[in-house]
Amino acid sequence: MNTTDGIKCLIVDDIPQNLVALEALLQRDGVQFLKAHSAREALELLLQHSDIALALLDVQMPEMNGFDLAALIRGSERTRHIPLIFMTAGTHEQNWQFQGYESGAVDFLYKPIDPDMLSAKVSIFFELHRRKQELAQQLQERTEALRVNEMFMAVLSHDLRTPLQSIKVTASLLKRQPDASRNEELAERLLSNSQRMGRMVEDLLDVTRIRQAGGLRLTLTDMDLASLCAAAVDDARHSAADRVLHYEALGSTEGRWDSERLAQVIGNILGNALKHGTADEPITVTIDGSAAAEVVVGIENGGTIPAALLPDLFKPFRGGERQPGQREGLGLGLYIAQQIARAHGGGIQVQSADGRTRFELRLPRQPLASHRQALL
């Protein structure tokens, strides 16, 4: 979630005209005003909304006054950080000011309030909150970058070392092997491990391109996506002869895409369906080109992805996914597939419930203007 989505300001006053006047005075781009006519309504809004930048509280309200409301706000861990400004039309009671500041207020204003002064004060708190959001976003990005860098080191020290060690051992055996009949078996082992290392290296290079170059570069050509999907399904049928695969294409499936990259996406999702889907249930691949602006590819299989994994499914090096002894890869396939889809101006969505899992790839027929800078 982006931490700089906007700024929220809570205004509490039992007189509707005051709420309207305050919102009109303080209105500016990127600010959402939450208006409450009573302390009870204010508490309901505080439950519904988080990350509120500022609260303007009227002191004199029926049922529960502003001081009591402030005490409840300050008493909750979730809301105690919100700056409070009290407003009152009452007399200049010094005890009220003391009570207001004891309740955690940052300011205490008497009506009629100078509009320029109030606007200037509020702007300061909005700007402080905006900077707080930006710092939180930067911290999140740097924390994620540190996590990915640590995983890179783990890959280099462990995952790549495993097939490399196998290659060294096999080569040593091949060198000393007097029985020529075993040469083919050892050569196949060398080839398998070298291909595995090659896939890992390509995945790592893709992640580096995505994170350092701002996205993957594409080579676009006019193509028919149905032909690409049909070829991927045929390959899957040959590699898993015991599995049932259904394929259907509807409408026009032509567009301008990077065929090599999309083959990577389809192959990854289809490979996951073969690997993780329920073995005795069919895999269904559909490509729907009935819409004028986009083409949709759906790949559905039996089985359900655990709910705890869904939020992190498209993150690189996602934790908790790989089992001990698992050797299929680095957990980067879906992350790279999502980035390829986004480079085309599209995306990948997943639904997994009631024993079925469906991945849906959406691609505009032409690259969007906002994505052209990522294309060759």
Cα first-last separation, the chain: 30
Domain boundaries, position 118: 7-137
Residues 94 and 193 in one domain: no
Q: What confidence tens digit (pLDDT) does each residue in 175-228 have?
A: 777 677 777 777 877 887 787 777 777 777 777 777 766 667 788 999 999 999
What is the tally of structural domains in the chain? 3
Residues 285 and 360 in one domain: yes
Q: What confidence tens digit (pLDDT) does each residue in 59-106 have?
A: 888 888 888 888 899 888 889 889 999 888 766 666 666 666 777 678
Residues 246 and 308 in one domain: yes
Residues 62 and 167 in one domain: no
Residues 164 and 128 in one domain: no
- Helices marked H in the chain — which ranges? 16-26, 39-48, 66-74, 94-102, 115-154, 161-176, 183-212, 225-239, 259-276, 333-343
375 forms bridges with which residues in the sheet?
218
Starting from the edge strand earliest in sequence, which strands make up the sheet with 7-12, in order?
31-36, 7-12, 52-58, 84-88, 105-110
Residues 53 and 133 in one domain: yes
Cα→Cα distances 93→62, 86, 97, 99, 184, Å: 19, 13, 7, 10, 96
- How is 172-194 classified by DSSP, letter by letter? HHHHH---GGGHHHHHHHHHHHH
The one-letter amino acid at 110: Y
Residue 276 lies in a domain: yes
What CATH number is associated with residue 92?
3.40.50.2300
Q: What confidence tens digit (pLDDT) does each residue in 130-154 have?
A: 999 899 888 887 887 777 676 666 6
> Residue 290 burial by CB count (10 A; 0-12/13-18/19+): exposed, middle or buried?
exposed
Domain-terminating residue out of 188, 212, 236: 212
> Residue 256 burial by CB count (10 A; 0-12/13-18/19+): exposed, middle or buried?
middle
